[in-house]
Structure 1
Amino acid sequence: MAFPEEGQVNAVAQPAAIVNAMTVDVEDYFQVSAFEQCIRREDWPQWPVRVENNTRRVLELFAHKGVHATFFVLGWVAERFPALVRDISAAGHEVASHGYGHERVTTLSREEFRHSIVHSKQLLEDLTGTAVLGYRAPSYSIGPGTLWAHDALREAGYRYSSSIVPLHHDLYGMPTAPRFAFVSEASGMLEIPVTTARRWGRNWPCGGGGYFRLLPYALFKRGLHRVNRHEQSPGVFYFHPWEIDPGQPRVPGVSRKNRVRHYLNLTRTVPRLEQLMRDFRFDRMDRVFLADGQGDYPVVALQPGEQRAN
C-alpha cells in the first residue's frame, strides 16, 4: 500500500533528546460519543465493522515510517478481533486499555468503572502475554468530577493514565489541569495529558483528534515544535483508525456540528500523519514516559475548579 506525501512543508530540525508519544484510540466509527444519541450500544452489531481493516492500515503506515506507538484498545474490539491485538503487540507496539465498551467515566458508577478497567486489562494481557500499563478514558472523561478514577486505576494495576485534555470542550476537558505529565497527590497515579500549546494566556490544541483534521497543519507543527524546542517536553499525539477512512458509512440523524467534527477532511488524515512523522520523532508511551531515567514528575493536588497554568 502506498501512502501519499503531503509535501511542501519543511521538516523541523528536532532536538535529538525529544521524542514524542504517538497513540491510537482503537474504536470504530459507530462507537464515538458524538453518535451516541443516534446509535444505541445494543445496535452496534448491526453496523458494518471497519475497525480491523483500518487499524491494519495504521500498522502498515507505522511500519512504512518506522514508528512505534501505543494502541489504546477497546475490550469490545479485542474480543471480536483477537488476532488484531496480537498483531499490534507482535509488531512492537504497546497495547493499552481504552476500557471495555467506550462508556464515558461520567456515565459509570465506581463499580461499573472498576469492572470495565479490570476486564479490559485482563483480556488484553491474555491476548498479548504482556502487562497492560496504560489506560485512556473514552472521550477523555476523567475530569473534575471523576478524579476518583485514578484511585481505581492504580488499584487495578495500571501504571499511567492519559485521560485528561487541559482544554475547554463541550464533550470533555479539564483546562485547570497541568499541561505536562504529573502524579496525582491523592492517588499516586501518573497522568499524562494530551498535548496543548500555551499562548496568549490560554491552552491551544496540538495533540491530534478532530483538531488535526479541522485546523491548518502549520498550527500543529508550530505548537508541537514550541513544546519540544522551547519547553523541552515530549508531546502526546492521538488519532483514531476511523479517521483514515473517508469511505465509512454516513450515520443518519447526526447534528451538523457532529457531522463536521466526524467527517470533515478525512482524506487529509493520512497525508498529514505522514508529514507529522517526517517533522517529529515518535515512540510508544511507555518508552517516552516510563523508561529508565524518567519518572521525576511533579506531584499535584488536583481540586475541582482549581486554576492552574504551567
Structure 2
Amino acid sequence: MREYPKSIFTIDVEDYFNVTEERGEPPVSEWDSLPSIVESGFLKLLDLLDTYQVKATCFFLGYVAKKYPHLVKEAQKRGHEIASHGMFHRIVYKMSKDEFTADLLQSKNILEDICSEQVTAFRSPSFSLTEASPWFFETLAETGFIADSSVFPVKRDYGGYKTTQKKPYWITTEKGDICEFPISVAPFCGKDICFFGGGYLRLFPKRVILYMHKKLAKQGIPTLFYIHPREMEPQHPRLKMNKMAYFKSYVNLNTVQPKLEAILSSSKFITCRQYIETCFPEKRMSSSFT
C-alpha cells in the first residue's frame, strides 16, 4: 500500500490588485501604474520556506512572470516547482474555450522561456472552475499540462466544482489525463470548510487549523495549503470593495506569518510534481525539454 505525503504547499504568485472585478480589481491597462508588493511578499515566503526546508508549487501569473522574471528564476533556483496561474487573472467561467486557451498558452510560453523547463501544472485564478466550462480539463491536456489545482469542492463566490474526492485523483479526457489536486476541506458544523488558505486560514485560530490538518493526516489525506505574497505584507494597499469582500480580503493579515511558521513546522511537504512522481510513478512527469 502506498504511503501518501501528508502536505502540499502552494503559492499563487500574484499582486494585491490581482483579485476579481467584484473585489475591486483595476483594469489590466492600469496595473503597471500601481505600486507593487509581489516581489517583497514572495521573497519573504521563499525565505520562510528555506527556514523550514519546504519546497512549494508556485503558480505564477503570467503578467507577474513577464514583469519580474527574476522571481521565477529565484524560485526555480531554490528548488520550487514553477506552475501557471494564467496570464491576466481572468475568471475561467467568463471565458470561451478559445479565450482560455490563448490565456493559458501565453502564460505557459512566458514561464517556459524564463525557466527553460516544461510547465505542467495549472491553477485557475480565484479557483474559478465551474461546470460551466466542460472543456477545461481537455484543454489543459491539449496544451501540455499534466496537473491542475482548480477544483474547490464547495460553493464559493467565484467558483466551486463538485467532487467527493479528498486526495489527488486522475481525470481522463480524450486529449490526455490530468492529475487534479483539489483544495483541502474539513467538516465543521455540518459544512466543509477550507481552513488551509484564503480568508478562513486568516480567520480561524492557529490551533484550529493545526487540529484540522492533523485530522486529515490521520485519514491519509494530504492537506493542500495555499497562500499569496500579499498576505506577507499586512500593510499593502487596500482596494475599494463591499464590506463583506473587504472583510474576507483583509481580516487578520497580521496573523499569517506565525500561522505559516506553525504549519510549516508541523509536517513534511511535497510539491505537486513530487507527489505525482512519488505516488503515481507510472505517470512520472518530465521536468525538462527533450
Q: What TM-score, normalized by structure 1, do the two folds share? A: 0.84
Decide whether the 8 Å contact of 1:34 with 1:258 is kept in 2: no
Equivalent position amino acid for 1:227 in 2? L
Residue deviations 1:198-222 (CA, integer Å, cap 9, x gap): 4665422233122100122222212
Q: Does residue 1:282 correspond to 2:263, yes or no?
A: no
1:35 Cα shift? 5.5
Partner residue in 2 for 1:42 = 29
Gaps of 5+ in 1: 1-15, 298-310
Q: How far has the Cα of 1:117 moved from its partner?
A: 1.1
Distance 1:35 1:42, change over 3 A: farther
- AA at the equivalent of 1:137: S
Deviation digits for residues 118-164 of structure 1 (CA, Å, limit 9, x no counterpart): 11111111111111110000011112111311110000000111001
Deviation at 1:186, TM superposition (A): 4.0
Check 1:210–1:55 CA distance in 2 against 1; reply closer, same or farther (3 A cut). same
The code of the aligned residue for 1:99 comes to G
Aligned to 1:214, which of 203, 218, 222? 203
Distance (whole Å) between structure 1 residues aligned to residue 133 and residue 260 of structure 2: 32
Give the 3-state SS of the residue equivalent to 2:192 in structure 1: strand
Instruction: State the partner residue of 2:8.
Output: 21
SS class of match (1:178)? coil
Deviations 1:236-295 (A, max 9, x none): 1101000111111122x311111111111111101100011111221211112x114426
Aligned counterpart for 2:232 among listed residues 234, 241, 244: 244
In structure 2, C-alpha distance between the alignment counterparts of 1:107 and 1:177, rounded to whole Å:
25
> 1:175 offset after TM fit, Å?
4.0
RMSD between aligned residues: 2.0
Any idea what the Cα deviations from partners look like across 1:56-94, whole Å, max 9, x if unmatched? Answer: 111111111111101000000011001111111011000
Q: Which runs of 5+ in 2 are unaligned?
A: 284-290
Cα distance between partner residues in 2 of 1:141 and 1:151? 16
- The alpha-carbon distance between structure 1 residues 177 and 117, as it changes in their structure 2 partners (threshold 3 A), is farther
Correspondence 1:30-109 to 2 at 5 A: 30-33=17-20, 36-37=23-24, 39-109=26-96
CA distance in 1, matches of 2:25, 2:87: 20
* Secondary structure in structure 2 of the residue aligned to 1:53: helix
The percentage of counterpart residues that share the same residue type is 30
d(CA) in 2 for partners of 1:38, 1:284 = 29
Partner SS, residue 54 of structure 1 = helix
- State how 1:91-130 maps to structure 2 within 5 Å: 91-130=78-117
Q: 1:167 to 1:296 in 2, by over 3 A?
A: farther
Give the secondary-structure state (helix, strand or coil) at the position aligned to 2:262. helix
